[in-house]
């Protein structure tokens, strides 16, 4: 028992107090473009990420995973089946050159036929100095991704959704990087705060409540939540009523207009 306690103390001591994230750009709420701003644009592409920048979102979500030859790309699914009619199978079974040969844009609109699966470096080049990243770490090595974010000045202004073991690695290679753990309920918040010192947490919508939000804020953590359901505007209203700090959305342009209209009516 003492050994386990010591290990936990060593692990938690690697985490410094979280860096302050930049203030949100839109009405006091962080707008996170899920897979980029992809309405009418192929998701997880440089075009979708550039659109998120154009809209003045706070973060774009990236899904980093490795290719067969150890390049890092942004693809949400384990496989490429939904992205193209020209190939099937797991991303890890393809080289970067093979993935780059695939047309992943025509399924959305013919104008996007030349859009390709982007590398991490292409995304960081597009985002550097313009927007933060919401890193959904799929199957990519923490040290490689962290070093790339550091090199592009994005480490302290981006957040990471990953596994606990990956956060422990992250603390050792990038102390300024911002873990954003999941939790199952209000009972987990003090433990998460003590072990990871996160700038924010990101549970599912079903896990939160007004009590959860209040406890989260009392511990000095922000709360980023994914919208859920077909009636996403009702979801936004509920989250704003509870006081969440950020919403990850498939409709960033609409959310921004929603926030502007809400601000114009005094937050109602």
Q: CA 165 to CA 147: how far, in whole Å? A: 18
Among residues 50, 14, 62, 29, the alpha carbon closest in space to that of 172 is found at 14
Are the beta carbons of 53 and 126 closer than 8 angstroms? yes
Beta strands in the chain (DSSP E): 30-33, 59-66, 72-74, 132-139, 159-161, 178-179, 200-201, 222-226, 246-249
Are the beta carbons of 226 and 204 closer than 8 angstroms? yes
Note the pLDDT of residue 268: 63
Q: CA 177 to CA 170: how far, in whole Å? A: 7
Are the beta carbons of 47 and 54 closer than 8 angstroms? no
Note the pLDDT of residue 27: 79
Note the pLDDT of residue 3: 32
Residues of the chain with confidence (pLDDT) below 50: 1-13
Q: CA 36 to CA 53: how far, in whole Å? A: 9
Note the pLDDT of residue 9: 35
Are the beta carbons of 230 and 236 closer than 8 angstroms? no
Per-residue CA distances from 245 to 1, 23, 117, 194 (Å) = 38, 10, 31, 21
Say how far residue 216 (Cα) sits from the centre of its chain. 19
Say how far residue 37 (Cα) sits from the centre of its chain. 13
Note the pLDDT of residue 7: 33
Note the pLDDT of residue 234: 96
Is residue 188 helix, strand or coil? helix
Are the beta carbons of 143 and 172 closer than 8 angstroms? no
- Report all structural domains of the chain as residue ranges with CATH numbers, in order of start: 22-263 (3.20.20.190)
Question: What length does the chain have?
Answer: 268
Instruction: Return the bridge partners of 61, or none.
Output: 134
Q: CA 33 to CA 21: how far, in whole Å? A: 17
Segment (H or E) for 235: helix 232-242
């Amino acid at each position: 028992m003492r050994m386990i306690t010591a290990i936990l103390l060593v692990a938690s001591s690697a985490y410094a107090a979280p860096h302050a994230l930049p203030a949100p750009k839109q009405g006091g709420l962080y707008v996170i473009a899920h897979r980029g701003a992809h309405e009418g644009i192929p998701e997880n592409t440089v075009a979708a990420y550039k659109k998120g920048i154009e809209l003045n979102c706070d973060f774009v979500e990236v899904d980093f995973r490795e290719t067969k030859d150890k390049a890092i790309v942004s693809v949400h699914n384990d496989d490429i089946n939904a992205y193209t009619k020209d190939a099937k199978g797991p991303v890890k079974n393809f080289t970067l050159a093979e993935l780059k040969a695939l047309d992943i844009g025509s399924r959305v609109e013919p104008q996007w036929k030349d859009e390709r699966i982007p590398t991490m470096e292409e995304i960081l080049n597009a985002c550097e100095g313009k927007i933060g990243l919401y890193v959904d770490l799929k199957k990519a090595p923490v040290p490689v991704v962290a070093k790339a974010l550091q090199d592009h000045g994005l480490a302290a202004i981006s957040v990471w959704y990953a596994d606990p073991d990956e956060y422990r690695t992250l603390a050792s290679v990038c102390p300024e990087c911002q873990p954003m753990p999941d939790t199952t309920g209000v009972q987990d918040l003090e433990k998460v705060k003590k072990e990871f010192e996160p700038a924010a947490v990101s549970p599912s919508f079903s896990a939160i409540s007004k009590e959860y939000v209040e406890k989260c804020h009392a511990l000095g953590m922000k709360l980023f939540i994914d919208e859920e359901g077909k009636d996403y505007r009702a979801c936004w209203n509920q989250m704003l009523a509870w006081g969440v700090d950020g919403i990850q959305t498939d409709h960033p342009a609409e959310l921004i207009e929603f926030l502007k209209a809400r601000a114009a009516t005094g937050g109602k």
